Amino acid sequence: MEYTGLTTLITGASSGIGVEFAEGFAARGSNLVLVARRKDRLTELASRLEKQYSVQVSVIAQDLSVPGAGAALEKAVAKQKLTVDVLVNNAGFGVNGYFVDEDRAVTQAEITLNMGTLVDLTAAFLPGMISRDKGAVVNIASTASFQPVPGMAVYAATKAFVRSFTEALWGELGTSQVRVLAVSPGATESEFFEVAGGKPSGTSMPASAVVDTMFTALDKPRSTPSVVVGGTNGFTAGLVKFFPKKSVIHMAGGMFLPKK
């Protein structure tokens, strides 16, 4: 894909993978719309990227975990007279613990952000891309999407939804030049586990690996519907289908259930 002169909207852009996405698209000449709750971080990032890459960067500080957030963001984008050519639905969070112990309000916010807002933003901006016959929607799933995960039951379920939803959209677009891609990272260097609690099993990959994997997929003439970040993660994700479901669930629980 050619990104120069396009506008890329990135949610969850104030830290971790979101910052790497902003860096990657700006380096390829794309203007940016950065969205997250922390305006100070967004403003600092926008200033640096504008100076470094000579692109235009807009900042929208908004909580996307509340009902109606997608429509509100769509209005904010329209107010600034911006056209979204590439949408990166990166914002999301998880909670590590037993489901029965989770705060119900937090669970609802997790579902809204990881699924509801993602779908609504896709519905808001994908039609324009199709009418222009160019652009891309990138949705961040997870290796947790490939099996149920006791200890992160809601998070894994939301990411399974994201991957399935995105792959289905890919199938609907047929010969359109618009790319749709689900990206499934494993444990990544970010603030994820600071929010979720617990700690990642094994070594975390750099956030740049997620971005590199995405661009490699998008640069192909007909992008794949879904990619997994890292060869080991891809092998493991494919391997689970060959084991009995109960064994897979027990293994995942052994990694993520808090020790009593």
pLDDT in tens, 59-77: 999 999 999 999 999 999 9
Residue 22 is predicted with a pLDDT of 98
Look at residue 202 and tell me whether its pLDDT is greater than 80. Answer: no
Q: What average pLDDT does the segment 162-176 reach?
A: 96
Tally of structural domains, the chain? 1
Provide the percentage of residues in the chain whose pLDDT is more than 70.
92
Q: What average pLDDT does the segment 245-249 reach?
A: 87
Residue 61 is predicted with a pLDDT of 97
- Which is more confidently placed, 30 or 203? 30
Residue 188 is predicted with a pLDDT of 66
The amino acid that residue 68 corresponds to is: G
Q: What domain range is 217 assigned to?
A: 7-256
Residue 23 lies in a domain: yes
- Which is more confidently placed, 193 or 3? 3
CA atoms of 218 and 226, how far apart (whole Å): 11
Residue 201 is predicted with a pLDDT of 57
Q: Domain holding 36: CATH number?
A: 3.40.50.720
CA dihedral for 182, 31, 211, 148, sign (positive or negative): negative
Closest of 25, 71, 72, 69 to residue 49, by C-alpha: 25
- Which is more confidently placed, 199 or 98? 98
pLDDT tens by residue, 12-44 = 999 999 999 999 999 999 999 999 999 999 999
Residue 2 lies in a domain: no
Residues 3, 53, 98, 155: which is the catalytic one?
A: 155
Confidence band, pLDDT 50/70/90 cuts, at residue 187 = confident
**Given the structure tokens 């120069």, which residue do they identify?**
4
Active site residue 3: no
Residue 209 is predicted with a pLDDT of 94
What are the structure tokens assigned to 133, written together? 């016959």
3-class DSSP string for the chain: CCCCCCEEEEECCCCHHHHHHHHHHHHCCCEEEEEECCHHHHHHHHHHHHHHHCCCEEEEECCCCCCCHHHHHHHHHHHCCCCCCEEEECCCCCCCCCHHHCCHHHHHHHHHHHHHHHHHHHHHHHHHHHHHCCCEEEEECCHHHHCCCCCCHHHHHHHHHHHHHHHHHHHHHCCCCCEEEEEECCCECCCHHHHHCCCCCCCCECHHHHHHHHHHHHCCCCCCCEEECCHHHHHHHHHHHHCCHHHHHHHHHHHHCCCC
Look at residue 194 and tell me whether its pLDDT is greater than 60. Answer: no
- Buried (b) or exposed (e) across 67-90, using 16+ Cβ within 10 A? eebbebbbebbeeeebbbbbbbbb
Confidence band, pLDDT 50/70/90 cuts, at residue 155 = very high
pLDDT tens by residue, 110-153 = 999 999 999 999 999 999 999 999 999 999 999 999 999 999 99
pLDDT tens by residue, 80-95 = 999 999 999 999 999 9
CA atoms of 67 and 184, how far apart (whole Å): 25
Residue 74 is predicted with a pLDDT of 98
Residue 1 lies in a domain: no
Neighbours of 106 (CB within 10 A): 13
Residue 128 lies in a domain: yes
Look at residue 172 and tell me whether its pLDDT is greater than 80. Answer: yes
